[in-house]
């Protein structure tokens, strides 16, 4: 750790008060510029959930890693252009003694932190198009946490600890950049970046930012998987450590009992068609789709009240019923669009609700309404 030699006043082209004002306001403007990609991602991610296009695409075989990677690439491209623009403007007008490559890296890292931060916030918001606005508002409010560590005597550990929040980290680094540009003889270079100013260093801030990019991306992706939303089936909290991925809604013994039961169970036999021995054999060999005790409630309303059925291999199965009988709800549960409250279902031995990803590999769906990403126009 070292201290940078200070610049004498005649090198300054703005008054010290002007510098102070600029130092205080620059982080806010900086955040505002990046609100555009942030708002774009949060609103699109929320809209994709709301329009069911994301679940629809997952039914068609889209896997989560491709989905997150595609958003990462989109975000990185927007960030690259925005960061390039800010770097050029800042190099000309504000920072004459700052290595602009370092400044550009800082801009890119800040904006890439927002990628995971955006997914983290959106996962807690209800699935609505307005979630983009709510997430952006929350992001702006989080900026004001900076005031908690405004005192220059705040211990470095607290400053670095609070830097886990993207806006605080950005604010701390901007303070460093201003200090190097206006107060030190050498400015900000690869050599001076490790020097400390008010208990914080540019290099320390950048390392925190790097950590944040990874931390928020992992947290955002994790929360996206486990926090229940209106559509899709949330995975259990420890899904990463399970061999078979997916949520366990009923315990294994209960599931085995339900599936072993033939669909008639204790119910009135007159309501069920008797099946031939060859079809019964399919049931024993798990060569069919079994649904047992499937229940879905929307508040007090029971949309599906304990459906039992078996669809056999080589047959066409038609689900008929009056309006509001629960056909769409049943199919939505079987394809993973909405989560059931009770019951279980198995196709060719794959437990659907515990192993949705596996089941979707053999699933084809033609939904009631077109489920496509908004920007696919033709
Ligand atoms: N998201 C929801 N929130 C509240 N109630 C719902 C929801 N979705 C469906 N319902 C209710 O659940 C019941 C079953 O609806 P569902 O759409 O599954 O019926 P359906 O058999 O597909 O009817 P239709 O023949 O009209 O398509 C209906 O009474 C419906 O109002
Ligand atoms: Mg319907």
Ligand 1, atom 12: closest residue by C-alpha: 303
DSSP 8-state class, residue 96: S
- Of all residues in the chain, what percent are helix, strand and coil, respectively (each to 5)? 55, 10, 35
**Is 246 or 41 the better-scoring residue by pLDDT?**
41
What are 191-228's pLDDT values in tens digits? 888 888 888 999 999 999 999 999 999 999 999 888 87
CATH number assigned to the domain with residue range 249-267+274-360, chosen from the 4 options 3.40.50.300, 3.30.450.40, 3.40.50.880, 3.40.50.620:
3.40.50.300
What are 118-173's pLDDT values in tens digits? 999 998 888 777 888 889 999 999 999 888 888 888 899 999 999 999 999 999 99
Ligand with the closest atom to the CA of 304: 1
Report the pLDDT value the prediction gives residue 378, as an integer from 0 to 100.
Answer: 64
Report the pLDDT value the prediction gives residue 245, as an integer from 0 to 100.
Answer: 39
Instruction: Report d(CA 300, CA 30) in Å as an integer.
Output: 48
Instruction: Report d(CA 258, CA 265) in Å as an integer.
Output: 9
Lowest average pLDDT, out of 141-150, 173-182, 243-252, 352-361, goes to 243-252
Domain boundaries, the chain: 9-231, 249-267+274-360
Cα 299 to averaged position of ligand 1 atoms, centre (Å): 12
With 50 as the cut, is the pLDDT of residue 244 above it?
no
Lowest average pLDDT, out of 103-107, 130-134, 372-376, goes to 372-376
Cα 105 to averaged position of ligand 2 atoms, centre (Å): 52
Instruction: Report d(CA 317, CA 271) in Å as an integer.
Output: 17
Distance from chain centroid for Cα 118: 7
Stretch (H or E) spanning 159: helix 156-162
Tell me which long-range contacts 171-175 makes (C-beta under 8 A, separation of at least 24).
171/27, 171/143, 171/146, 172/200, 172/205, 173/106, 173/110, 173/202, 173/205, 173/206, 173/209, 174/23, 174/26, 174/27, 174/30, 175/23, 175/27, 175/200
- Asked whether 54 and 233 are in contact (CB, 8 A), the reply is no
The predicted model scores a pTM of: 0.72
Mutate which of 229, 295, 301, 367 for ligand 1 pocket (most atoms within 8 A of beta carbon): 301
Burial class for 67, CB neighbours closer than 10 Å (0-12, 13-18, 19+): middle
Report the pLDDT value the prediction gives residue 12, as an integer from 0 to 100.
Answer: 55
What rounded mean pLDDT belongs to the chain?
A: 84
What totals of helices (H) and strands (E) does the chain contain, helices first?
12, 6
Cα 329 to averaged position of ligand 2 atoms, centre (Å): 7
Ligand 1 atom with the smallest distance to the CA of 368 is 27
- Asked whether 308 and 267 are in contact (CB, 8 A), the reply is yes
In which band, very low, low, confident or very high, does the pLDDT at 234 lie, cut at 50, 70 and 90? confident
Mutate which of 52, 232, 297, 327 for ligand 1 pocket (most atoms within 8 A of beta carbon): 327
With 70 as the cut, is the pLDDT of residue 7 above it?
no
Over residues 335-341, the mean pLDDT reads 85
């Amino acid at each position: 750790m070292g201290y940078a030699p200070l610049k004498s006043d005649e090198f300054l082209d703005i008054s010290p008060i002007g510098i102070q004002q600029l130092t205080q306001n620059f982080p806010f403007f900086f955040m505002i510029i990046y609100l555009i990609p942030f708002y774009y991602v949060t609103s699109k991610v929320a809209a994709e959930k709301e329009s069911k296009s994301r679940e629809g695409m997952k039914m068609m075989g889209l896997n989560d890693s491709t989905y997150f990677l595609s958003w990462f690439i989109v975000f990185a491209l927007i960030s690259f252009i925005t960061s390039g623009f800010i770097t050029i403007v800042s190099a000309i007008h504000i920072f004459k003694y700052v290595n602009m490559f370092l400044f550009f890296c800082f801009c890119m890292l800040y904006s890439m932190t927002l990628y995971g931060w955006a997914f983290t916030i959106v996962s807690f918001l209800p699935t609505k198009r307005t979630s983009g606005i709510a997430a952006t508002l929350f992001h702006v409010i989080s900026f004001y946490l900076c005031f908690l560590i405004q005192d220059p005597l705040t211990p470095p550990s607290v400053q670095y600890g609070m830097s886990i929040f993207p806006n605080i980290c950005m604010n701390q680094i901007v303070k460093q950049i201003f200090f190097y540009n206006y107060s030190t003889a050498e400015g900000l270079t690869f050599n001076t970046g490790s020097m400390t100013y008010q208990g914080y260093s540019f290099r320390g801030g950048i390392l925190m930012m790097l950590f944040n990019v990874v931390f928020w991306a992992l947290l955002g992706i994790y929360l996206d998987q486990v926090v229940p939303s209106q559509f899709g089936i949330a995975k259990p909290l420890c899904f990463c450590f399970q061999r078979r991925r997916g949520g366990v809604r009923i315990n294994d013994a209960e599931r085995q009992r339900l599936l072993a039961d033939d669909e008639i169970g204790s119910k009135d036999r007159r309501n069920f068609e008797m099946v031939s021995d060859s079809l019964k054999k399919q049931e024993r060999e798990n060569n069919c789709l079994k649904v047992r005790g499937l229940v879905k409630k929307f508040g007090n309303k029971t949309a599906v009240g304990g459906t039992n059925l078996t669809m056999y291999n080589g047959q066409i199965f038609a689900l008929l019923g009056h309006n509001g009988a629960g056909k769409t709800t049943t199919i939505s549960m079987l394809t993973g669009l909405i989560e059931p409250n009770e019951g279980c279902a198995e196709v060719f031995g794959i437990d659907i609700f515990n192993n949705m990803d596996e089941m979707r590999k053999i699933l084809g769906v033609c939904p009631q309404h077109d489920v496509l990403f908004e920007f696919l126009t033709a």
